[in-house]
A and B are shown apart, each in its own frame.
Chain A
Amino acid sequence: MGKVKTLDDLRKLKDELKSKTSLRDKSEHPESMVQIKVAMATCCIASGSRETINYLADELEKRNIEAVVTQTGCMGYCYAEPTIEVTLPGKEPIIFGYVDEKKADEIIEKYIRNGELVEGIIPMNYKNIEDTTK
């Protein structure tokens, strides 16, 4: 077994990362990136949202997609957990339900990469006639 990682190793990693000019703090320009919120209340956690958030964060990095992945409370769609809200730059947010790892993979490849809608959308963006005539 190799040596267990220590804070000294972290210092080396920091020097390496800081020397890369492409590095920037994502939180400075979140609107220019894909933003994903994963619901993480009790109902969501019991349904697997921990695996969903970790999968999304790992896979987006592996696939070189600049994104900010954060958590939010229960969005009220407990029947469809795990739920996530995805906002592509310049677009309205869309909520997807039943997002396990397989569905998360499909959302990354189809919606995030190509803007193609996939099954499992929760229609929270629906506007009624009063809204549209205001």
Chain B
Amino acid sequence: MKEIALHILDIAQNSVNAGAGEISIEVWKNEKDNRTGFRVRDNGKGMDLETLNRLNDPFFTTGNKKTGLGIPLLRQHAEAAGGILHVESEINKGTLIRAEFELDHLDRQPMGDVLSTLISLLRAYPEREWLFSYQVNDREYSFNTRDIKTELDGLPVSHPRVIRFIRDMLQENMDALSK
């Protein structure tokens, strides 16, 4: 993974595969604390203790392959950049994954294209509810697909013109926070 935003996409895919109807993604950068990171929380099927205990094993997966590299790679990247990976999960309630990095750490991956990650998720899973929060220091922008769907009144979120609108809206608001 070349960007933290790709890890976000990977984790959010896991939430979708866990049957989550609502997935919340928070991304933050705090210069005062010298921290950056993200949190993905879902209401999917959750993980049992055995699965949780084997999360760091790259040869363990609940998928249909022989490897499960997503979480071990993320933990390795977080810890290499003075950060941590925190995982909480409860069966039938959901999962929370929080990854933190030292903002000015030389080995930290760039945050990358968070917007592209969100758009690819909206395109692929328009039927799910997505909550997104972007925080830069003490300023925050938040977005959720429930509000969007109310406004759209039956028009699909994945309609190309709607996707383009959402992308522009998110880009403008995220840029405004970074100024």
Q: Which residues of A contact B151 (CB under 8 A)?
A: 7, 10-11, 14
Report chain B residues within 8 Å CB of A45: 1, 6, 9-10, 13
Q: Which residues of A lie under 8 Å from residue B119 when comparing CB positions?
A: 54
Instruction: Tell me the interface secondary structure of chain B in the complex.
Output: helix
Number of residues on chain B facing chain A (CB within 8 A) = 40
Q: Residues on A close to B: CB < 8 A? A: 4-7, 9-11, 13-14, 17-18, 23, 25-27, 38, 40-43, 45-46, 50-51, 53-54, 57-58, 61, 69-71, 73-74, 76
B contact residues around A27 at 8 Å (CB): 156
26 pairs, A vs B, C-beta closer than 8 Å: A4-B173, A4-B176, A5-B168, A5-B169, A10-B148, A10-B151, A14-B152, A18-B155, A23-B159, A25-B156, A40-B9, A40-B120, A40-B124, A42-B69, A42-B70, A42-B73, A45-B9, A45-B10, A46-B6, A50-B9, A50-B117, A54-B123, A58-B160, A61-B160, A69-B124, A74-B63
Look across to chain B and name the residue whose beta carbon is closest to the beta carbon of A78: B65
Task: With A17-B155, A53-B120, A57-B163 as known contacts, state yes or no: A40 contacts B65, CB within 8 Å.
Answer: no
Across the A-B interface, the 7 shortest Cβ-Cβ residue pairs: A71-B124, A61-B160, A5-B169, A42-B70, A4-B172, A10-B151, A50-B120
Q: Are B116 and A50 interface neighbours, CB within 8 A?
A: yes
Shortest C-beta distance, A46 to chain B (Å), equals 5
Residues in B lying within 8 Å of A, measured CB to CB: 1-2, 6, 9-10, 13, 17, 63-65, 68-70, 73, 113, 116-117, 119-120, 123-125, 147-148, 151-153, 155-156, 159-163, 165, 168-169, 172-173, 176
Given A13-B162, A14-B152, A45-B6, A40 and B147 contact (CB-CB distance below 8 Å): no
- Nearest residue in A to B169 (C-beta to C-beta)? A5
Interchain CA distance A11-B65 in the complex, whole Å: 44
B9: which A residues are within 8 A, CB to CB? 40, 45, 50
Secondary structure of the A side of the interface?
helix
Known contacts: A41-B13, A45-B1. The answer to whether A73 contacts B116 by CB under 8 A is no
Output the nearest chain B residue to A51 by Cβ-Cβ distance.
B116
Report whether B152 and A54 are in contact in the complex, using a CB–CB cutoff of 8 Å: no
Cα A19 to Cα B161 with chains together (Å): 14
Most chain A beta carbons < 10 A, residue from B117, B123, B125, B147: B123
Inside 8 A of A50's CB, which chain B residues have their CB?
6, 9, 113, 116-117, 120
Check B165–A73 contact: CB distance below 8 A. no
